[in-house]
Amino acid sequence: MTETREADAAAAPALPVAGGDTVTGLLAEIAAIGVDRVRGGYSRPVFSSAEHDLRAWYLAQASKRGLQVDTDRNGVIWAWWPGEPPVDTSAPAVVTGSHLDSVPGGGAFDGPLGVASALVAVDLLRARGVRPVRPFALTVFPEEEGSRFGVACLGSRLLAGTIDPDRARSLTDLNGDSFAEVAARNGLDPRFVGADPEALARIGTFVELHVEQGRGLIDAHQPVGIGSAVLGHGRWKLSISGEGNHAGTTLMADRKDPMVAAARLVVLVRDTARAHPRARATVGRLQPVPGGTNVIASRVDLWLDARHMDDAVTASVVAEIHAGAELIAAEEGCTVTLTEESLSATVHFDPALRDRLATVLPGAPVLDTGAGHDAAILSGFVSTAMLFVRNPSGISHSPEEYVEDSDAEAGAAALADALEALLISPVTDTARETV
């Protein structure tokens, strides 16, 4: 044990230390929550009963560790390590966390792995006798996937003030319920959602651990990697309007069928992305109105997800798709509108923090990711890093997402190493000292 740890181990307060939970064990505790028997995998939308149960589980786990828990006005859960001396409570905090909500039919690890690993990292830091010299908190951000209200990272965007609170309040789910109405039914006062500069200013360094959503660590034969960048990405809603009619009485020549235009558009999206190296463009969600088997749709709504490391390429891809959609709609006797729902520029994590973690975790590859994260939203405001844990399938947003038990524990140990380095480094007097 290093000198710091020995001295501190003797002086460490008799705080409740959980009986050696493992990441695998914690994830097993929530494995039955939000199982989707139709799609497979998990469907844990924000403010659903499943997500509510996950939040209750998390609050119990945090309390079991003696963490001081608070849910802020945006629904972000904060779990603070008790701040006995030598904590300099005025110093910027080290914060780690992720999310509990999922995409429809998602995997078991996207989000919960980072949340469970943070809890186990607390146990490991305690067992090592680490005494933070600066404030330390765990967080859980709501609506990271944007699966219910359509905007990804809604919780961290509200905290950071990067989404207009009126727009957030008016976002609606598939039932037409607004975020304001649903948030109010779940303990938040929608009048007060929005930028929280005090909470943001408390964060000096944010580290998010996440399952890798790709093959980088498989190919590198490493269990843990360090994040370098998050590809810029956005979501656009396209609405194609035609002429609803009877499937049996309407001759083919008389049709203005938005479903046909939508089908042609989905292929155009694929072809446009293929024409731009490393671009990704997806239509994963398509909704005919009214959606009857014997009905020619009057309208088809579909959502485009487009991404690229170069934001200008993302913009070109979307512009080409929009132009192509208008041509297709005209040829099918339809009209089309395109509405941007969210857009995040490519984010490069703090290079000094990235390099610092590379020294703490020698051999960990440095990887960019095509997946969005709350860490990317926060990186515009605080020093931010990510750790990735190997996913042998490389697949995510699917029940096939997977992490080996040993890699899950290696991830938590790596997170504890990173946090220890950040928590015991001397607090300088710079106002926004971050690493």
Give me the residues that bind Mn ion (CB under 5 A), please.
110-111
Cβ count within 10 A of residue 10: 8
For the chain, how many helices (H) and strands (E)?
14, 15
Q: Which does 372 bind (CB under 5 to 8 A by kind): Mn ion, ligand HGY, none?
A: ligand HGY
Closest CB to ligand HGY among residues 144, 420: 144
The least distance separating ligand HGY from the CB of residue 204, rounded to whole angstroms, comes to 25
From residue 372 to residue 391, what is the string marking binding to ligand HGY with x (rule CB under 6 A)? x-------------------
The least distance separating ligand HGY from the CB of residue 12, rounded to whole angstroms, comes to 37
Rounded CA gap, 208 and 202, in Å? 17
* DSSP 8-state secondary structure symbol assigned to residue 172: B
Under rule CB under 6 A, residue 101 binds ligand HGY: no
The least distance separating Mn ion from the CB of residue 100, rounded to whole angstroms, comes to 10
219 is in an annotated binding site: no
Q: Which does 194 bind (CB under 5 to 8 A by kind): ligand HGY, Mn ion, none?
A: none
Under rule CB under 6 A, residue 145 binds ligand HGY: yes
| Residues paired with 74 in a beta bridge | none
Rounded CA gap, 105 and 34, in Å? 9
Using CB under 6 A, which of 371, 375, 382, 408 touches ligand HGY?
Answer: 371
Cα-to-chain-centroid distance, residue 349: 15
221 is in an annotated binding site: no
Angle at 298 between CA 292 and CA 301, to 5 degrees: 90
Residue 236: phi and psi, rounded to 5, are -130, 140
Q: Tell me if 267 sits within 8 A of 273, measured CB to CB.
A: no
Closest CA to 332 of 205, 240, 250: 240
Using CB under 6 A, which of 21, 144, 173, 417 touches ligand HGY?
Answer: 144
Closest CB to Mn ion among residues 104, 324: 104
Q: 150 in the Ramachandran plot: left (φ > 0), alpha (ψ -120 to 50) or beta?
A: left
51 is in an annotated binding site: no
Only segment of 144-152, 166-174, 221-229, 402-410 that touches ligand HGY (CB under 6 A): 144-152
Closest CB to Mn ion among residues 143, 409: 143
308 is in an annotated binding site: no
Closest CB to ligand HGY among residues 371, 424: 371
Closest CA to 303 of 278, 284, 288: 284
Q: Which does 152 bind (CB under 5 to 8 A by kind): Mn ion, ligand HGY, none?
A: ligand HGY
Closest CA to 311 of 279, 271, 342, 269: 279
Q: Which does 258 bind (CB under 5 to 8 A by kind): Mn ion, ligand HGY, none?
A: none
The least distance separating Mn ion from the CB of residue 103, rounded to whole angstroms, comes to 6
Q: Which does 21 bind (CB under 5 to 8 A by kind): ligand HGY, Mn ion, none?
A: none
Place of tokens 């139709």: 38
The tokens describing 393, both together, are: 């399938």
Under rule CB under 6 A, residue 152 binds ligand HGY: yes
* Parallel/antiparallel/unpaired status of strands 335-344 and 280-289: unpaired
Under rule CB under 6 A, residue 104 binds ligand HGY: no
145 is in an annotated binding site: yes
3-state secondary structure at position 152: coil
Closest CA to 138 of 206, 193, 72: 206
Under rule CB under 6 A, residue 100 binds ligand HGY: no
Closest CB to Mn ion among residues 230, 296: 230
Query: Which amino acid is residue 181, in one-letter code?
Result: E
Q: Which residues are annotated as a binding site for allantoate?
A: 235, 294, 307
Q: Which residues are annotated as a binding site for Zn(2+)?
A: 99, 110, 145, 210, 397
Interacting residues with ligand HGY (CB under 6 A): 144-145, 152, 371-372
